[in-house]
Structure 1
Amino acid sequence: MSHRVAVELSKAYRLLNHGPTVLVSSAYDGAVNVMAAAWSMPLDFSPPKVAVVIDRNTWTRRLVEGSGEFALNVPSRELAQQTLAVGSRSGREVNKFDEYGITAFSAEKIGAPLINGCLGWLECRVIPEPHIQERYDLFLAEVIAAWADPAAFVEGHWSFDEGSPRSIHYIAGGNFFETGEAFDVKK
């Protein structure tokens, strides 16, 4: 039997919660916002779909519900400070772009901005699922455009060459790690 220790159920999510942290950007009715989200994941290949948790109390939630779209931006270590900051304040209180020096550029297919300095960008259109949105704060979306920094993502794969920028992963309490060293397993 493997050695093991009990994990508090309130902390159990941390056993799985080390996918890349994303910045969710949104826009609606003249307002823009960005928030950090550690809980996002791909759902399907064709058409590509994603899921992300957007709490009902966030300003982003209002903008996403109003517009029916959002962008997932994959930050690197260079944006870790801003990532933590935008996850700690509400867009109702402050313009996060101005407050934290975040710059953005226009998406091609949606109104939400794309965040400069990220490694990847997914433009997403919400697939309406009112029950799961209301009950679980879970939003499903189709990815309608995707972009990547060629220094980080080459020929459909993350680059693990030395010096390549890496995605960051939030593990609570202000702690992040970068994606580590790649290794192959031979069949």
Structure 2
Amino acid sequence: MQAFRQPVDLARATRLLNHGPVTLITSAHDGRSNVMAASWAMPLDFVPPKLVVVIDAKTLTRQLVEASGVFGLQLPTRGFARHTLAVGSNAGIEIDKIAALQLETFAAEKIGVPMLEGCVAWFECKVIPDDAQRHDLILAEVVACYADSRVYSDNRWHFGDDHDMRTCHYVAGSTFFETGDTFEVEAAPIGGKV
């Protein structure tokens, strides 16, 4: 898998999140690690790249993120949806989800958090302390970013015929939908200008 994992220019990192897919957050501190699903993640700023995630204050992930000041954010695929549902449906305080699901991980480049194989984009993030945390919003700067070159290159997603390689969106219960086909249009003219 590492052969397909290619760096993404940090100034373009937020493009990976623009289409609103479900995400997985990995965290670690003091010998303990966790993974959780998060549908509320979005780009916040371009340079330096920043993003926002919602992590409930009562979760193990939140405890680990607050203690370490870092987290990993990954974009899982349709082929990884069963695991995404499992990590989103079980609390990490009760079980080591990474071990129980036998998830393959690799070491992050700049932070001390496991990153997940089976995804198509990875963000390494450092928390920016802010009052928003009292509302469960975590602001973070992206310090490293990479994507699977089979579906992302030249700063664009290009999902092909392998539907298991497409990012997915969580709806409710056990329902997801996959990212669809791309298309391009020309802007409608406004006042005679395009």
Shift of 1:162: 2.8
Aligned partner of 2:184 in structure 1 is 184
Shift of 1:117: 1.1
Aligned partner of 1:138 in structure 2 is 137
Aligned mates of 1:177, 1:75 — CA distance in 2:
12
Kindly provide the amino acid, as one letter, of the partner of residue 103 in structure 2.
Answer: I
TM score, norm. by length of structure 2 = 0.84
Aligned partner of 1:10 in structure 2 is none
What's the secondary structure of 2:86's corresponding residue? helix
Aligned partner of 1:125 in structure 2 is 126
Aligned mates of 2:91, 2:160 — CA distance in 1:
37
What's the secondary structure of 2:50's corresponding residue? strand
Aligned partner of 1:48 in structure 2 is 49
Shift of 1:126: 0.2
Aligned partner of 2:171 in structure 1 is 171
Aligned mates of 1:162, 1:81 — CA distance in 2:
20
Aligned partner of 1:85 in structure 2 is 86
Deviation track 1:13-71 (CA, whole Å, cap 9, x = no partner) reads xxxxx820000000101111000000000001100000000001110000000000001
Aligned partner of 1:153 in structure 2 is 152
Shift of 1:79: 0.9
Aligned partner of 1:27 in structure 2 is 28
What's the secondary structure of 1:27's corresponding residue? strand
What's the secondary structure of 2:172's corresponding residue? coil
TM score, norm. by length of structure 1 = 0.87
Aligned residues: 168
Deviation track 1:122-181 (CA, whole Å, cap 9, x = no partner) reads 00000001x2112x1000000000010011101111113333721110011211011001
RMSD: 1.2
Moved over 2 A (4+): 160-164
Aligned mates of 1:26, 1:49 — CA distance in 2:
18
What's the secondary structure of 1:119's corresponding residue? strand
Give structure 2 stretches of 5+ with no counterpart: 1-18, 188-194
Aligned mates of 2:28, 2:132 — CA distance in 1:
22
